Structures are given as C-alpha cells and as structure tokens.
Chain A
Amino acid sequence: MTARIVIRNEWRLLMADRPLRLALGLFALLLVYALANGVVWTRFQESTVEVAQAGNVERALAIEQELTDIENGAEPASPFSDPRLPNVLGGRRGRHTAVLTPGPLTALAVGQSDLLPYYYDVNIYTNESSFHQSGEVESPLNLMVGRFDLAFVVVYLLPLLVLALSFNVLSEEREQGTLALTLSQPVSARGVVAAKLAFRALLVVGMVLAVSLAGILVAGDFGAPGRILLWCAAVVAYALFWFVLAAWVNSLRRSSAWNATVLVGAWLVLVVVLPAAINIAAGLLHPLPSRVQMVTAQREASNEAVNQRSELLARYLEDHPEMAEGVVADEPGLGALAWAATDAVNRRLEEVTAEHDVRRAEQIALVRRYRFLSPALLTQEVLIDAAGTGDARFAAFQSQVRVFAERWREFFVPAILASEQMNAGVLSDVPQFRLADEASADVVRRAGVPLAVLTGLLGLAGAGAGVGLGRVRGAD
C-alpha cells in the first residue's frame, strides 16, 4: 500500500522535475546509440562471416573444376598451383576458413569479438603463430576503451545515472523538511526509501531492458532464452547494487553533498580504479612475451630449417611414423622437404607460444581471482558471456580450430610425404570445419558464479541499508 502511494508521488515529482526528465532522456539516447553501435558491428561480423563461407564454396568449386579439366586432358593453370599436388590442395590455395558466427547477443555486448579473431584460414601451414594474430584492423582508441555498446553503458554509465537519481533519496527529504511529516505517518523510513528506489529502479532498469530486448529483436537471437535471462539478471542485479548502495549511504544520515562525494568515490574505485589495478597487476606479475620475440624465433627457425631440410625430414618421420604409413617416396620430393622444414618451424614456435599461453592463463587466473572485488568486473563478465562474446567462447572456437587444423594436416601430409597426386574424387573427403557452439546451459552454469557473487554483494549492501534505514527516525 505504502509502495503504491510513494510510487505515485514519485511519478508526480518526476513529471514536475524537468532536469531529471532531461537526464533520463539523455540516458535513453545513449542506450539507443550504444545499441546502434552494437548492431553495426554485428552486421559487419555477419557479412565477414558470409564472405568467408562463400570463399570456401568458391575455392572448392574452382579446384573441383580445374581437377576435372586436368583429368579431361587440360594442363594446370600454373605448375606452382597445381591442385593435384597435396601441398597445394591442402595449402593456401585449397585452404578452409573456419568461422565463429557472432554470439547470439553480440549487438548488446561486443566484448572480445573486436579483439579476438573470429575466423582462421586453415591449411597445412597453419601453426601457433596463426593463433596469435589479432582479427580485424581496428582503431587503437576502440581497442583501448572498448566499443561504446550497451554493456559499456550498463557497466560504466548506468551506475552514474543510478547515483544521480538516488544519492539524496533520503537526505533530500530531511534537508527540505518533508521527512518529519512523512515519518509522522504510519510508515517506516525503510518502506518509503524502498518504494522511492523501486520506482527509480523500474525506470532505469526498464529502459535498459527495453532497449536490450529491442536489440535482440533487431539483431539478436530469441532462441537463446538462457542467455537473455542471464543478461537481464545481470543488469537487474548490477543496477540494484548501486541503488542499494545509495540507500545504505543515505541511511548514514549525512548531507546530500557528503552522500554524493562518497558514492562517486565508490563508483571511481569499483568501476575504474579496481579493474585497472587488477589489469596492471596481471601485466606486471605475469608479463606476456613480446611479439617481436615470437617473430624472431619464427625467422630463426625458418632459416635453420631451410639449411637442414633432409635431416629434418628424417627426424620428422621418426617422430611421426603414423604420417609416413610406409608409403614415403624413396626420393623425398620438394613438398616433403618443405613440409619437414615447416614442421620444424612449428615446433620452435610452439615453445615460444606455449610460454605466451601459460602467462596469459596466469593473467586470466589472477583477474578471475580478484574480480570479486569489483561488481563492475563481475557484471561485465556475465554480460559478455551471455552475449557470446566472452573469452570462453573464443577459446573454445580456437581450440576447435586447432583440432581441425590437425585433422587437415593428417589428411594432406601423408600424401605430401608419399608424393601422391590428388584428384576430384578426394574433395568430398577433405575435412570441413563444423563449429560445436557452447550450449546455453553451460553458459548459464559458468556465468552463475559471478552472478551469484554479484547477488551476494547486493545482499550485503541491502543488509547494511536495511539496518541503517531501520534506525532512521523523523528527528534526525
């Protein structure tokens, strides 16, 4: 009953407060702009994926046509790109592009999708360095601050709006003198503040969720209800955390100016300073090896390999008897020698990239350990995971591409070593990449941890606010 009365009054106060209406309108515009940014990025990714998939089909058709023509007596277009050669068919000419389609809610949270590659050209030369290239050529400013998407607005700007709406939810009543008259009625300060904040929360969360659902409608996938629920739950929990924190600070019965200072300080620490500090700590404690080191290692290994190709081939066959299958040509061809050199380079690269991967895993572990300190980090993790643009989905994609690249090599390398020739008949047996995307249930299970911690922080702030507001009386 009290809630309905207070909410009705809050609506009237909102309607009578022009600056507040303008602030809400501006926030709504920012939400729409952020969504538009996300939709543009998603469309770009979708078109890139389409081009890559069309390229796979076109290449396969062109090779099939040329092989048929050759079988019918025609000469290859070039001796260096003869599709009968397994190192050509399995090499760059016959490559297969493995793609990761945009996550179901990429339009809401671009996340890692503009940092991590979402397609790889797989051929027999695919090695670890292929997995350490970045994706699109991107503006350095975008890389530094991230895209202005809905997740950015939620994590960074939504708390500011929440604080602007609620930093003085109780202190203003005291300062303007209405608190005494209010609390002389049969109501509690806790009930009144809860209703006032509920109204503001409905406004703010309602706007974010409405724009989110509009985004899903325009560029998303309603077939992922688990992810949508996760997104909504994270938005609600995060917004409520800030509302409840504001209630807690208000319950300390200080001035509005003091409340504003403390809450903005909390935003600065929890949203800006802590995440940055954790990031810096991860970089300092577990620094990644430089890319220059990786490139140098690759070049050194290449030079060495060129000089020792025969020796390398013998060593390769010792290490990989399954590849030879007893059909190695008596006189190793150029393709076999080249493959031995390639393999040697790959091994050297694996040593360098393994160190890189270990350090990166250590960095991620450190960030995961300390992300519980910042509700902003927790929320961001849930949002991008729900959107399908988080680390985990890209790591799973990369892992599947690694397996696919291995299958690709296993298909072509024995033919290279045996100096066999390929024909149109083998094309149907050439491996194809099929992404096994993560199930929504797995995402919900994984994101459940940060969401539960976020809810715990919300509960903690709520308990503090509840106790504090319980002590508020009319004569404070």
Chain B
Amino acid sequence: MMGNPASTDRDWVTLLSDNSRTGGWREGSWQVPKGVRWQFRAGRAILSAPVLRDKLLYVAEIHGAVYALDADTGRSRWTRQFPNWIHSTPSISGNSLLFGCDGGKVYSLARDTGKTIWESATRGEVWSSPVVRDETVFFGSADGRFYALEHKTGKPRWTQNIGGRISASAYAAEKHVYFGCGDGKVYALDASSGRIEWSTPTGDGIDSTPAVVDDLVLVGSEDFFFYALDAGTGAVRWKFETKLGVSSSPAASKDVVFFGSKDKNIYALDIRTGKLRWKTFAGSAITSPLVISGPVVAVNAQGPVLCLDTVSGQVLWRAGLGGGLQSAPVLAGGRIYLASENGMVYALE
C-alpha cells in the first residue's frame, strides 16, 4: 500500500500528484479554465511545485517561506520561515508536510499548524521531493547519499552512499526505490535495507524523476535519451533520442508516456515499444515536469502553461501567467494551480 496516495481527485499530495509519479493521470474530462479564481503573492520566486490536500494548498518559495493557503480563497492559513532556500517540492503524508532545504535539512511539519514535528540533517542540498511509503521517508541529497528515515520520528533507517549528486526525486515501489543520479546512473535500491540491487549507466547526469509503469522504469537523461528500463534488472528495454537533454520528469498514462526535452519539443511515446506517437513544438526548452488530467497533458513552458490533447498533441489551451521553470502545475478538483518564478500563486477554474 502506498504511503501517501491522493485521497480524492481533489488532492495532489506530492510531486506529480501521488507516489505513482505518473503525473496525475486519471480518467475523466477536462474543461478549459474560464478565469482566475484567486491569486496570492508570496513575494519571492517559487521553483518547486505546490501540493494540495483537504482544500489546503502548500507552497514553498525559494527564500525559505512555506505557506498553507485556503484552496478556495487563496488566504493564508499559516506561514513558516526557514533559514535556507527551498527547491524541494513538498510532500504530504498523513498529517505531515515534508520537504528539503538547501541547508541540507529535511523537515516534517504538522500540516494543520505548520509546527515542526522533526528535522533531519544531510551534508548537501536537498532539492528532491521526499517520498513516503510504508512509513518510510525516502530522498536523495547533493551530498551523494540516499536516505531512508522513519516517517513518524525522522530517525534514520538506513543510508546508502551513492557518490554522485542526487537532485531528482525517487519513485518508491513495494520492494525497491528507483532514482536517477548526477553520476549518470539510474539506481534501484532495496527499500528495506538500502542495498543497491542494480544500477544502469546513461551517458550523462540525470535530473528527471522516474515514473514506474508495470515493470518499466521511465526516466530521461541529460545524454539526450529517454529510457525505459526493466524494473527488475535495470536492462534497457528501449531508449528514444531527442535533440538535447531530458531533465523534465515524465507523466505516464496506461500506455503512453509524455515528457519534454530541452530541444523544445514535448514527446508522447508508446510505453511498450518506445515508438513515437506524436511530438509538439512548445517554443521553449522544457525542463519542468509534465502532468496529466483526463484527456490533457500540461506543462510549464518557461512562462506559458500549455495544455495539450493527449491523443493528438494539439495545443488546446495556453496561459501566460508566470515564469517558474521547475514548478509543475497542479490539476485537481477542476482547477489549475500555478506557482510562478515571480512569486505569484494562481488558482484558475
């Protein structure tokens, strides 16, 4: 059982919606937003993605402030200021909100009050989003280590020395944890012990968070390729070449995986074969994660947010509200929540 599933289609509890890291894919319809329901000025750049649960939207801005906003009104319920920068997308599990800081700490806050439950230190920036499964918090750090902590207390369960800088978030499956590393390898660790089960090299560093669909680990690399690896062995099942690095995290539906490349295209590939279904020119290098809601896939294209038809790749709608590069939109409850590089948070519906 996953540790932090989105409880309803109105929740979006971690990067790419939930622990499946599939980018929010659900069956259903989608409607073009008619306007801005509310906007909130955080004041500083927001590079991480918001998360949502029980009508509270949580946003972390770069200079260390964390906000809990009423998802209906945009009013702040509570705010906490932390001493270090925050690149990490928060993650929700139970009543706790987890995120990392550039100072090397990972925090667990009470979701309703913002009070600190525990904090744990590493020796490098934690840009990745913590993922929770079976009462264990998993994350990598720029100190080259991968950590597993006890969810309730923050006490270490195990640590694995990887060696390369880890900035991408992990995918936690039942028995294994998968992640990409700055040393160019994709790793699978035993979730209970941290033992390295396999590692598969790519040609350059990895900044993309993997998605796992059935027995395939789907992830992009700076070596220009997008990979599908066998989840059990790490063997390359197929790989697809783009014209530049792939740091965007993929979104996956039942049989199609979507991702962006710095070559400015958004790609849709058949998950089983790696064959191209469509590609759409976005006009800007794509580095932020893609998300899916019903029949549309959405991405922040360095300013405008694009929504494309999942079947044809046709651009259905675009909004030019902000410029966050790392921030991914949240599509939940019939709304789109956006956080921008100029410090604004928007709710569209």
A binds B: no
What is B's interface to A at a CB cutoff of 8 Å?
A: none
Query: A-side interface residues toward B, CB under 8 Å?
Result: none
